[in-house]
Structure 1
Amino acid sequence: MTELNLNDIRDGDGYYRDGLEVLSRALTWIRADDARDECEIPLPDGVGSVVIIHAGIPAYWTDAPDGKPSSFHEITAGSAVDLLEGGLKQFDGVPVDPKLPENFDDTPNDERPDNHQVWWYRPFIVTDRWEPETWEQYRDRLAGYGSEPDHSPEEWAQMQAQQERGWYEHFPSGVRYDVRCLDGGAWDRSTWWGSFGTLEEAIQCAHSGPAYRQARP
C-alpha cells in the first residue's frame, strides 16, 4: 500500500511549510483507494495530529495534547492549516502567546464558532510584562469614564513604584506567564489556571492542570 509522503514539505520542527498542500495530498491519497476513508497527519510530539475523514465531504479533526479529556474535536479547514503550519507555536507541546480567534474570551461556550473548537481542553500560555501608567495616562483613562483623578501626580508615582516592586517580587524576570484553558470553567471565556514567574512552571501547570483542581480530595 502506498504511503502518504509529506517529507518534502515537512520542516525539522515537525510542522509543514504549506498546510493547504498537505490537505490536498491527503485527500488525493484517500480518494486513490476505495478502502480508505481517513488519513492521520502527524504533528510534533505532544501537539497531537490532524485527521481528515472523507465520506463524500471532507471533515477535519484534531486531538488535544497529552490525553486531555476532549478526545477529538472537529475543526475547519482553515484551523487545520494553521495547526499544520505551526501557527500555534509550542513549547513542550503548549502554545505560548497564540493568536486566538476573534472574541475568544467574550463568547458564550454554546455559541462558539468552528474556529474556537480547536481550543477546547488545549491549555495555552499568555505572557504579560510590567508597563507603568503615567499620571497623564491615568487621568485620560478616567476621563473616558467621566471621572477625575483621585490621586496627585506625586501620589500616583509612589503607587506605581510600589506596584512595580510587587510585580518584580513575584515575577523577577519581569514577565508573568498566565496559563489559561477553554475547559468550561467559565461560561464565556477561557479559565485562568495560574500565573507564574517562569515558563517552566507555566508549562508544568499546563501539563498537570491547575493547583486548585489537584487539591481536591
Structure 2
Amino acid sequence: MPSGSRATPTATLLAKSKKTAKTLAKTTDLTHAQALERVAEDAGYSCWHELLHACDSANHPHRGKDDLPVDPELPPDFDNTPNEERSTEELDTWWDRPFAQTRADGTLDVRALDGGCWDRATFYGTAATVDEARLLAKAKLAAWQKSRSAPTVCLDRSGIKLMRMPQRPDDNGEVLYVAKDQQDATRWLEAYRIA
C-alpha cells in the first residue's frame, strides 16, 4: 500500500485482516497481537484498535459513538475499588454501562460495572466482533438488571419486608411491601411474579 494511504474500512477488510494476522502468527515468530498490529499498519492504520474502530464506524454509521466503548480509558484502580467508595461522577459514567476490551487474540471481553462484583466490573463473556459484543452486553445487562431489581425478603424487628435492593451503591433500597406473616409474604411474591 502506498505510503500515507489507508485501506477503506469495510467488513471485508476486517475479515481479511483477521485471517492474515492468524496466518502470520502461525508462520512467523510474531504473537497474534503483534500480527494484528502489523496487519493494521500495513493497511495504513496506526494500530489494530484504530482499524477495528474505523471498520465498525463505517459499517454502522447509525450507531452512537459510545454505545459500547471499545478499550475505553478507565479510572485508576477501576478493578480494585469497592463500589461504595466510587465517586458519583464515576458511577454516573460507568454504572450499568457495558464496555469491551480487546484481548491479545483480537476477541473482545465484555464487562460492566453493575454490582455483580463488589470491587470491579463484572465479566459478561467474550465476543468475536463488536456486533457480537453489543448483543452480549445488551442481553447480560438486561438479565442482571431484572435479577437485581427483583424483590428480596428481609427480616428485621419490625417483621417481614419485601424490598428492592439498592440499584447503585449510592442509592437506598426500597420497601415494596411489609408482610404480616410468611404466608402473606408468599402471596405477595406470587402476585408480583404474575404481574
* TM-score relative to the length of structure 1: 0.35
The structure with the largest helix share of the pair is: 2
* TM-score relative to the length of structure 2: 0.38
**Higher relative contact order structure (alpha carbons within 8 Å, sequence separation ≥ 6):** 1
